[in-house]
Amino acid sequence: MNDALYKATVLVLNRNWQAIDVKTPAQAFCMMANGNATGLDIQGIGDMRPVRWNEWLELAVREDDNAVRTVRGLVRIPTVLVLARYNKVPKRRPKLSTKGIWERDGGRCQYTGKKLVPAEGNIDHVVPRSRGGQTSWENCVLADKRVNSLKGTACRKRSAWSCKRNRGRPANCRSPTSSEMRTTSAIGSISSPRSTRQRPTAQGTPATGG
């Protein structure tokens, strides 16, 4: 059962008993041994009590319990921890993703202001990746697919294609990590303009040109 030590199976509650995280049993044992948390000894519905580390080591291992073998014998793996001092709930930090950009932009094309249904929109790089644009909150916007197909690199300089809003990360959002940048590369594969042969005329109709 020692493999179970490294699987995230232990629910972590803050001191107000609000769920905030999930830890591995190995992490849970360290937190209990350091006095940072207690394990919940759950006997049944409504019958549970916080237990400190020294007492936890003496608890009997029941038939349905997971346990690890130590020099002291079998030690029950807790299913729930209660933190001793932490009483906050971590803020949600949305990752850079297609869903996140849709939510930030309210489902509206950021060039025309039109309300879109999922089949009508995709993610556009305001500064194309071919010109050094990054896959970031500041450079990605929701766009109507028809607008995106008409808009080539040269068209981005025209006022007709200026964004309707300031771009940026949602409140309380961190910058993407390198691994998240790799996972968002799929956004660019569907959103970068495919052609620069068409440009809008003053009336907004497509015209062929260089």
- 66-87 residues labelled b (16+ CB within 10 A) or e (exposed): bbbeeeeeebbbbebbbbbebe
Considering the domain architecture, whether residues 192 and 104 belong to the same structural domain is answered as yes
Say if 31 falls within a structural domain: yes
Q: How far apart are CA 124 and CA 126, in angstroms?
A: 6
Considering the domain architecture, whether residues 68 and 103 belong to the same structural domain is answered as no
Q: How far apart are CA 88 and CA 125, in angstroms?
A: 37
Q: Report residue 109's pLDDT band, with 50, 70 and 90 as the boundaries.
A: very high
pTM above 0.75, yes or no: no
Helix (H) or strand (E) holding 66: none
Beta-bridged to residue 142, according to DSSP, are: 123
How many structural domains are present in the chain?
2
Q: What is the mean pLDDT of the chain?
A: 78
Considering the domain architecture, whether residues 194 and 102 belong to the same structural domain is answered as yes
Considering the domain architecture, whether residues 69 and 126 belong to the same structural domain is answered as no
